[in-house]
Amino acid sequence: MTDLATRAAPPAAAALRRAAPALLGYAAVRALGLVVLALWSEARGRSAYTLLTARWDSLWYARVAGLGYGYEVRLPNGDVHSNLAFFPLLPWLERLLHAVTPLSYAGAGFAVALVSSLAAAWGIFAVADRLYGPRAGVCAVLLWAALPVGIVQSMAYSESLFTALAAWSLYAVLAGRWPAAGSLALLAGLTRPVGLAVAAAVWAAGIASFVRNGSVPGPHGARDSAHAPHHGDSPPPGGATVRQRALGMLLAPLGAAGYVLWVGRHTGRGPLGYLDVQAGWRNGFDGGYAFARFVAGRFTSLPSALAGVGLIAGVVLVGLLYGACVRQRQPLPLLVYAGAVTALALCASGYFGSKPRLLMPAFPLLLPLAVALARLRPSRSALVLGGVAAASAVYGAFWLNGSGPP
């Protein structure tokens, strides 16, 4: 078998042609979701565009883009919602696009989400294709597009932008492009707090590669090198120099760390200032205790008990998928990234309804399902994926016209 770490990455044009079926399929699934949303919203006398661009977090991002940081809302219960909770890369892009086009800040956020979602789909395909082949890559992209909360990928939120940066950073690690991996991880860290998961993946792969005689991570996390050790800045065959790996690792955490430190200085609360800001939103990390209490609280009546059973089943499914990733022997950076995203999503103490959305960037969890679908006859996998896409479109329209995000 060809070593995935040393296989040369295809030129951009050839890579785009290879990814075209996945991107076209992704566009079709998301278009279906938007059409169903538009019809559903019209029937309820609501604007689908407003739902996608001017509610919940979209408003906060647009306000940061237009007015900068410093805005906050004080609630009657004493909580303080500060826009410092929102990382800056999406508002920066909204401001830039607003400056060079007629788009409003909200419209610019929508445009960024649409472009970023395609970039994310391409990145997911690139990772899956490199590891398991093009059919698995297409299936992974379509599964990601058809997640129950996949409609968020088309909202003026930061999930699509973050997933694009994360996927391509992980691909760069697998390809041994360490400065690119670190730079993309840096940008991911400027997009969402969970950007630290991307930095952790880069660091895990880097440490493993140093331990394994300077080799680049392969299909099982770090290549079992059959070559003689390489030292200094002389790259191993198809590998990277020590300096390149170190540079990638150095860059990876700078985005998230830089913003968190800036918030601490801006608020005058020191390095923990960002945690204070999140506490004002009743967000935090408690190891899942608050979420467990929330689930237990569902078992007070039959209707809510059914919801509690559904929540438990969802958590168990996520755990089973991660276990499948481990048994699949996914590369170490993917396991670290998916594990960190999952832990941060499930163990956060606030906004329990947001957990499916927070799990959306953990695309490696879908790879075992994608490989299984790729092994089916094309007609059968198309039937399964088509059914899932239709269900996702209906659920997304229902969800966004109801409680929806945050």
Residue type, 109: G
Query: pLDDT, tens digit, for every residue of 351-397?
Result: 777 899 999 999 999 999 999 999 999 999 999 999 999 999 999 99
Give yes or no for a contact between 141 and 352, defined as CB atoms under 8 angstroms apart.
no
102 in a structural domain: yes
For residues 268-291, give the mean pLDDT.
Answer: 87
**Could you report the per-residue pLDDT of 60-110, keeping only the tens digit for each?**
999 999 999 999 999 998 889 999 999 999 999 999 999 999 999 999 999
Q: pLDDT tens digit string along 162-195?
A: 999 999 999 999 999 999 999 999 999 999 999 9
Helix residue spans in 48-104 (DSSP H): 48-53, 57-67, 89-100
Rounded-to-integer distance, Cα 108 and Cα 96, Å = 9
Q: Would you say residue 168 lies in a domain?
A: yes
Range of 205's domain? 13-224+239-400
Q: How many domains does the chain have?
A: 1
pLDDT tens digit sequence for 202-258: 999 999 998 886 454 444 443 333 333 333 333 443 467 889 999 999 999 999 999
Cα dihedral 371, 381, 116, 47 sign: negative
Residue 230 lies in a domain: no
Percentage of the chain modeled with pLDDT above 70: 91
| 6 within a domain of the structure (yes/no) | no
- Record the tokens describing residue 252, joined without a space: 């990876």
- pLDDT at residue 223, rounded to an integer: 38
What does the pLDDT average to over 336-348?
95
Q: Write out the H or E segment, with its range, that includes residue 72.
A: strand 72-74
Going by C-alpha positions, the residue among 316, 187, 323, 210 that lies closest to residue 259 is 187
Segment 8-15 shows an average pLDDT of 76
Cα angle value 385/365/209 (rounded, 5°): 135
Q: What's the rounded Cα separation, in Å, for the pair 268 and 50?
A: 36
Flag whether 369 is in a domain: yes
Parallel/antiparallel/unpaired status of strands 80-82 and 72-74: antiparallel
Q: Does some domain include residue 232?
A: no
Mean residue pLDDT across the chain: 90
